[in-house]
Structure 1
Amino acid sequence: AFADKLALIGEENFLQFERMVLLQSIDTHWREHLSSLDYLRQGIHLRGYAQKQPKQEYKREAFELFGQLLDSVKNEVTKTLMTVKIQSSEELNQAAEAIENRGENIANVTYTAPTETGEIEVRMDEDTQRLSTALTTEQMQRTGRNDPCPCGSGKKFKQCHGKLS
């Protein structure tokens, strides 16, 4: 499987990809390691109450954390390199077209927070919705100010199309 990936894109390209994955993994895990060391340093003084040398305990635990850092980087890089799926240029073009088409379909959709029942309400952007459902003056005159707006936005009429100027 690994040899097939090398043969598909070439050894030099794969080594460059491997280098990028390695650097990204090291960067992420190094930041986590530094925050772990800060956390360790904040609580290491309590070891003195247990009749242990805080400096020696810090060195020992920091060394263990560094070993864990190296192991996690190795595991993540290996996992990424073995699970990566290499696509041909034709597949990439097809995927790009699909993403563009999907982007056009959802360009005017906005997300609202889940309702009390836990359902997520997705609706059209207000401007697009107003254009697509133009309200006649008769509908606007018949609607009470506290009734739901006939455009379907879910707002009260006075907060949507019935706003006073």
Structure 2
Amino acid sequence: MVTRAIARAQKKVEDRNFEIRKSLLEYDEVMDTQRKQIYGTRQEVLEGFDLRDKVLAMFDRAVLRACETYGGDADGFAGWFHKTFGGEVSSDAAAGAVAGEDGDPTHVFERLEELYDQRQGTVGEETMRKLENYILLNAIDSRWKDHLHAMDSLKAGIGLRGYGQVDPKTEYKREGFELFSRLFEAIEDEVTSLILRIRLAGEEGTPAPSTSGELEAKGMGPGTELDAEAMARRQAAAQGGQGRRPVQRRALPASQAFDAMRQQQVQAQRMRAAQQAQATQQEGGDKEAAPAKTEAAPAEAAGFEGVGRNDACPCGSGKKFKKCHGKAEA
């Protein structure tokens, strides 16, 4: 009878532990699905797969969202278009795009593709691919980090939803999906606001009008120079080099700007590794030099004649003479 009672209690404990593990797995599946999707998109960008089509699709989705926001306000939509893409759109196209359910943004899409082709013709196809790669990766990485923090905060307090007679796991999945949808919208908004407006070193033409201070704070606002000189100035400022005169360097062509950035990052990593190795060698040299100083102490024992072995050492160390300068006599 006691054995059966123990078996029942053990089964209850095991069932409870199983439910806990199952619940944790259901929470983790939400993040696992999102992680696979965002990493898949990032891998496609790294491989340079259909970057032009991806960017144009982002343009179209950003325009559709703006049409809903500026419904019936053609002037507001035209202002948003100029602020975001750095180009102009005709009043007829703007009015047709924000005409509610009967709106047709086709002419706006065509205008965007025209601006895109002009931009590609200015910087070159190869540079345009690198520019798309850089901006897409930067947007995905920065926004994904923010999304992870948001999901952690959601998970930390989702258990309290049970007091409201709702299933916490269901609420976590629903709100997690909403956050993930806003993540892609934030990525698209950042990419579309930069891809046609960012300026490369040596590129002719006036900078496009500025948008938000957030982009300028990131160093990716209008007129941003993506060359070795700009990177050197930023690194000097980060290392406390304010007040020093920046070294004048020749700006690289636009097609080599991104390669120069990667080379400087590699050089900076090598310099940090060399400094760490030098510091390690100095610490090792100090440790080896210390015993040499202590070994010289017994050689001075000849100057302490008449001192008893158990007396305090005259050197003031507080040790007995036989444990200090009297070692040479032993």
Q: For 2:148 and 2:127, how far apart are their aligned partners in 1?
A: 32
Equivalent residue in structure 2 for 1:107, among 229, 234, 244: 244
Whose helix fraction is larger, Structure 1's or Structure 2's?
A: 2
CA gap of 1:90–1:83, structure 2 versus 1, over 3 A, is closer
**Which 4+ runs in 1 deviate beyond 2 A?**
1-4, 85-92
Q: For 2:178 and 2:196, how far apart are their aligned partners in 1?
A: 27
1:12 corresponds to: 126
1:88 aligns with 2:202: yes
What aligned pairs does 1:47-62 form with structure 2 within 5 A after superposition? 47-62=161-176
2:140 corresponds to: 26
Q: For 1:58 and 1:42, how far apart are their aligned partners in 2?
A: 10
What is the CA distance between 1:31 and its match in structure 2?
A: 0.5
What is the CA distance between 1:89 and its match in structure 2?
A: 6.2
Q: For 2:116 and 2:136, how far apart are their aligned partners in 1?
A: 17
Q: TM-score, normalised by structure 2?
A: 0.28
Letter in 2 for 1:77: V
Name the SS for the 2:195 alignment partner. Answer: helix
Name the SS for the 1:82 alignment partner. Answer: coil
Letter in 1 for 2:146: E
Counterpart contact for 1:29–1:73, Cα < 8 Å: yes
What's the CA shift string for 1:80-136, capped at 9, x where partnerless? 1122124436898xxx5xx98xx9x9328xxxxxxxxxxxxxxxxxxxxxxxxxxxx
The gaps in structure 2 that reach 5 residues or longer are 1-114, 206-224, 246-330
- Structure with the greater alpha carbon radius of gyration: 2
Q: For 1:89 and 1:69, how far apart are their aligned partners in 2?
A: 32
1:3 corresponds to: 117
Q: TM-score, normalised by structure 1?
A: 0.54
The gaps in structure 1 that reach 5 residues or longer are 109-165
Aligned residue-pair number: 103
Q: For 2:244 and 2:202, how far apart are their aligned partners in 1?
A: 28
1:38 aligns with 2:147: no
What is the CA distance between 1:22 and its match in structure 2?
A: 0.3
What is the CA distance between 1:8 and its match in structure 2?
A: 1.4
Counterpart contact for 1:45–1:54, Cα < 8 Å: yes
Percent of matched pairs sharing the same residue: 36
1:66 corresponds to: 180
